[in-house]
Structure 1
Amino acid sequence: MSKKDFYEILGVSKNASAEEIKKAYRKKAIEFHPDKNPGNKEAEENFKTAAEAYEVLSDPDKKAKYDQYGHAAFDGAGGFGGGHHMNMDDIFSQFGDIFGGAFGGGSFGGFGGSSGGQRRVKGSNLRIKVKMTLDEIANGVEKKVKVKRKVQAPGVKYKTCATCNGQGQVLRVTNTILGRMQSATTCHVCGGTGQTIESKPNNADAHGMILEDETVSIKIPAGVVDGMQLKVSGKGNEAPGNGISGDLIVVIEELEHEFLKREGENLHYDLYISFAEAALGASKEIEAVNGKVRIKLEEGIQSGKILRLKGKGIPSLNSYGNGDLLVHVNVWTPKNLNKEQRQFFEKALTDENFIPKPEKSDKSFFEKVKDMFS
Structure 2
Amino acid sequence: MANRDYYEVLGVEKSADAKEIKKAYRRLAMKFHPDRNPGDAKAEEQFKEATEAYDVLADDQKRSAYDQFGHAGVSGQGGGYGGQGANFSDIFGDVFGDIFGGAGGGGARSRANRGSDLRYTLDLDLEDAVRGKTVKIKIPSQKECGECDGSGAEKGSKVEECETCHGAGQVRMQQGFFSIQQTCPRCRGKGKMVKNPCRRCHGSGIVEEDKTLSVKVPPGVDTGDRIRLAGEGEMGANGGTPGDLYVQIAVKEHPLFARDGQNLYCEVPISFADAALGGELEVPTLDGRVKLKIPPETQTGRLFRLRGKGVAPVRGGAAGDLLCRVVLETPVNLSKKQKELMKEFQSSMEAGGKQAPKRESWFQGVKSFFDSTKFS
What amino acid does structure 2 have at the position aligned with 1:142? T
C-alpha spacing 1:348/1:204, structure 2 compared with 1 (3 Å): same
Alpha-carbon spacing, 1:277–1:166, altered in 2? closer, same or farther (3 Å): farther
Is 1:149 the counterpart of 2:141 in the alignment? Answer: yes
In structure 2, relative to structure 1, the CA distance for the partners of 1:189 and 1:273 (3 Å cut) is same
List per-residue Cα deviations over 1:347-372 (Å, max 9, x = no partner).
3332438721259xxxxxxxxxxxxx
Taking structure 1 as reference, are residues 358 and 296 closer, same or farther at Cα in structure 2, changes over 3 Å only? same
Structure 2 distance, partners of 1:233, 1:268, is 36
On the 8 A contact 2:229/2:244 being kept in 1, the answer is yes
- Give 1 or 2 for the bigger CA radius of gyration: 2
| 2:344 match: secondary structure | helix
Query: CA separation of 1:264/1:143 partners in 2, compared to 1, >3 Å: closer, same or farther?
Result: same
Q: Are residue 344 (structure 1) and residue 337 (structure 2) matched? A: no
Separation (CA, whole Å) in 2 of partners of 1:271 and 1:322: 21
Give the conservation status (yes or no) of the 8 Å contact 1:281–1:298: yes
User: In the alignment, is the contact (CA less than 8 A) between 1:124 and 1:237 conserved in 2?
Assistant: yes
Partner of 2:251: 254
Give the aligned CA root-mean-square deviation in angstroms.
Answer: 3.3
What is residue 357 of structure 2 aligned with on the other side? 357
The answer for the alignment partner of 2:55 in structure 1 is none
Q: Measure, in 1, the Cα distance between the counterparts of 2:252 and 2:259.
A: 11
Structure 2: tracts of 5 or more residues without a match: 1-97, 99-106, 152-158, 360-376
Matched, 1:134 2:126: yes
Matches within 5 A, 1:101-120: 119-120=111-112
The share of aligned pairs that are identical, in percent, is: 30
Amino acid at match of 1:242: G
For residue 305 of structure 1, what is the aligned residue in structure 2?
302
Aligned amino acid, residue 156 of structure 1: D
Q: Who is 2:272 aligned against?
A: 275
User: Does the 8 Å contact 1:157/1:199 carry over to 2?
Assistant: no
The letter of the residue matching 1:204 is C
- Distance change (3 Å), C-alpha of 1:317 and 1:157: closer
Which amino acid letter does the alignment assign opposite residue 297 of structure 1?
I
Q: How much does 1:157 deviate? A: 4.7
Distance in 2 between the 1:294 and 1:356 partners? 28
Task: Give matches, 1:310-321, under 5 Å.
Answer: 310-321=307-318
Give the letter aligned to residue 355 of structure 2.
Answer: I
Letter of the 1:291 partner, please give it: G
My pick for the range that moved more, 203-212 or 236-245, is 236-245
Question: 3-state SS of the aligned residue for 2:129?
Answer: helix
Task: Letter of the 2:172 partner, please give it.
Answer: R
State yes or no: 1:221 paired with 2:218: yes
Q: Do 1:308 and 1:326's aligned partners in 2 also have CA atoms closer than 8 Å?
A: yes
Task: Note closer, same or farther for the CA distance 1:208–1:334 as it changes in structure 2 (3 Å cut).
Answer: same
Cα distance change of structure 1 residues 324 and 194 upon mapping to structure 2, 3 Å threshold: farther
SS at match of 1:252: strand
Deviation at 1:271, TM superposition (A): 0.2
Residue type at the aligned position of 2:306:
L
Partner letter of residue 251 of structure 1?
Answer: Q
Is the CA contact (8 Å cut-off) linking 2:109 and 2:191 kept in structure 1? no
Counterpart residue type for residue 292 of structure 2? I
Find the counterpart in structure 1 of residue 37 from structure 2. none
Out of 211, 214, 230, the residue aligned to residue 233 of structure 1 is 230
- SS of the residue corresponding to residue 357 of structure 2 reads coil
Report deviation, 1:194: 5.7
* Aligned CA distance change for structure 1 residues 347 and 354 (closer, same or farther; 3 Å): farther
Deviations 1:242-267 (A, max 9, x none): 23223323232221111112233322
- What is the CA deviation profile of residues 316-352 of structure 1, one whole-angstrom value per residue up to 9, with x for unaligned ones? 3443433322211011111232233233333333243
Tell me whether 345-354 or 216-225 shows the greater mean CA deviation. 345-354
SS at match of 1:345: helix
Match of 1:206 in 2: 203
**How far apart are the structure 2 equivalents of 1:294 and 1:165?**
81
Q: How big is the shift at 1:232?
A: 1.9
Tell me the matched-pair count.
242
SS of equivalent to 1:188: coil
- The amino acid that maps onto 1:292 is R
Query: Aligned equivalents of 1:291 and 1:338: distance in 2?
Result: 36
Name stretches of at least 5 consecutive residues in structure 1 with no aligned partner. Answer: 1-104, 106-114, 360-374
Report the alpha carbon displacement of residue 139 of structure 1 after superposing the two structures with TM: 1.8
Counterpart code for 1:146 = K
In 2, the alpha carbon distance for the partners of 1:122 and 1:325 equals 46
Partner Cα separation in structure 1 for residue 179 and residue 356 of structure 2:
87
Kindly report which structure 2 residues correspond to 1:1-374, keeping only aligned pairs within 5 A, or say none: 119-154=111-146, 155-158=148-151, 162=162, 168=169, 170=170, 172-176=172-176, 180-192=177-189, 197=194, 201-239=198-236, 241-349=238-346, 350-351=348-349, 352=352, 355-358=355-358
Letter in 1 for 2:335: N
Distance (Å, rounded) in 2 between the aligned partners of 1:341 and 1:161: 95
